Chain A
């Protein structure tokens, strides 16, 4: 006997993400899915942003193993919750749903979801976030938008980090922007250095504005 199923698994993921989206809206939490390769500077960005952004921050940390980043952030007074994927290469909506049962950020919080370092499948799994931010370090190369177009496609903002390293790594800015603009003509790009602090004020102002718009629109 043949049984028709006709179930798109990613569509199912979208439904699970929708549950998180409702939770975030009902609790007035602005979730930011932060996507990047390992070592691009995701945790550094969160640390720096916490010092600049007047909104309270909290973090859900996704890593295959360890509590390194969570311990670091908690030590700095930034509430952080660890998800270990035990080898899994991305966070999924269901994991966030489970985390929210234990870790409940207060209303008005900007919740960074620091995804597992990966430019491939993290792009395919929506988490119910209000904003999706993709980060790239100049040392990774100017060709990444051409090589990993899916991840840039749904970004609300792109952060180009480590610009202080630019002169040492032959990063072709023009080529990078050509790639980004072909995928999305309008996405804001913030050139920053989490080491020197360059460009971070502008990013933080953008985040504050976008998160503020989301929080104002969210129902209590």
Chain B
């Protein structure tokens, strides 16, 4: 559900940027989405289809690049890539701590005509 407000922000941002460059059409939007961001790309895609209608971003292809979540194990004092539905250290099994990586919701670039 929260994808709607984020998709609105994405649309506003890309329209503004395209406007700055006097572009006639946005054809592609490249996004980086962290595994811990709580954002479901399919939802963004669906909302985008609805709210971009009638704008120069209508029909733009959304390209999602996932960024992996990294956790830190305080026992082993090491970071590791988080596995799905698992917050435990693969080495010692302790519950690991969250780090900043994996929370991104990044508009990387757009392609315009």
Question: How many chain B residues touch A (Cβ–Cβ < 8 Å)?
Answer: 32
Cβ distance A9 to chain B, nearest Cβ, rounded Å = 5
Across the interface, do A92 and B87 meet the contact criterion of CB distance under 8 Å? no
Across the interface, do B38 and A121 meet the contact criterion of CB distance under 8 Å? yes
Mark B15-27 against chain A: 1 for CB-CB distance below 8 A, else 0. 0011001010000
Across the interface, do B110 and A6 meet the contact criterion of CB distance under 8 Å? no
Report A-chain residues with C-beta under 8 Å of the C-beta of B6. 9
Report A-chain residues with C-beta under 8 Å of the C-beta of B95. 146, 178-179, 182-183
Across the interface, do B111 and A2 meet the contact criterion of CB distance under 8 Å? yes
Report B-chain residues with C-beta under 8 Å of the C-beta of A121. 1-2, 38
Report B-chain residues with C-beta under 8 Å of the C-beta of A6. 106-109
Cβ distance B6 to chain A, nearest Cβ, rounded Å = 6
Across the interface, do B21 and A1 meet the contact criterion of CB distance under 8 Å? yes
Interface size class of A (residues with CB under 8 A): 20 to 34
Report B-chain residues with C-beta under 8 Å of the C-beta of A120. 2, 38
Across the interface, do B18 and A89 meet the contact criterion of CB distance under 8 Å? no
Is A87 on the interface with B (CB-CB < 8 A)? Answer: yes
Across the interface, do A149 and B5 meet the contact criterion of CB distance under 8 Å? no
Report B-chain residues with C-beta under 8 Å of the C-beta of A23. none
**Cα-based distance from A66 to B81 in the complex (angstroms):** 43
Is A8 on the interface with B (CB-CB < 8 A)? Answer: yes
Across the interface, do B13 and A5 meet the contact criterion of CB distance under 8 Å? yes
Count contacts between A and B, CB distance < 8 Å. 83
User: Are A146 and B10 also in contact (CB < 8 A) when A9-B106, A88-B5, A90-B2 are?
Assistant: no
The interface stretch among B45-53, B54-62, B96-104 is B96-104
Q: Which of B2, B9, B17 contacts A88 (CB 8 A)?
A: B2
User: Are A12 and B9 also in contact (CB < 8 A) when A5-B14, A88-B4 are?
Assistant: yes
Across the interface, do B1 and A7 meet the contact criterion of CB distance under 8 Å? no
Mark A117-153 against chain B: 1 for CB-CB distance below 8 A, else 0. 0001100100000000000000000000010011001
Across the interface, do B106 and A7 meet the contact criterion of CB distance under 8 Å? yes
Is A102 on the interface with B (CB-CB < 8 A)? Answer: no
Report A-chain residues with C-beta under 8 Å of the C-beta of B110. 2-3, 5
Interchain residue pairs with CB less than 8 A apart (11): A3-B21, A4-B108, A5-B13, A9-B6, A9-B106, A10-B104, A12-B9, A120-B38, A149-B98, A183-B95, A183-B97
Extra contacts, 11 of them, besides A2-B110, A4-B108, A5-B17 (Cβ < 8 A), are A1-B23, A1-B113, A6-B106, A10-B37, A12-B9, A88-B5, A89-B2, A120-B38, A146-B87, A150-B36, A182-B97
Query: Which residues of B does A touch, CB under 8 Å?
Result: 1-2, 4-6, 9-10, 13-14, 17-18, 21, 23, 36-38, 87, 94-95, 97-98, 103-113
Nearest 10 A-B pairs (CB), nearest first?
A121-B2, A182-B95, A89-B1, A9-B105, A5-B107, A7-B107, A4-B109, A8-B106, A89-B2, A2-B111
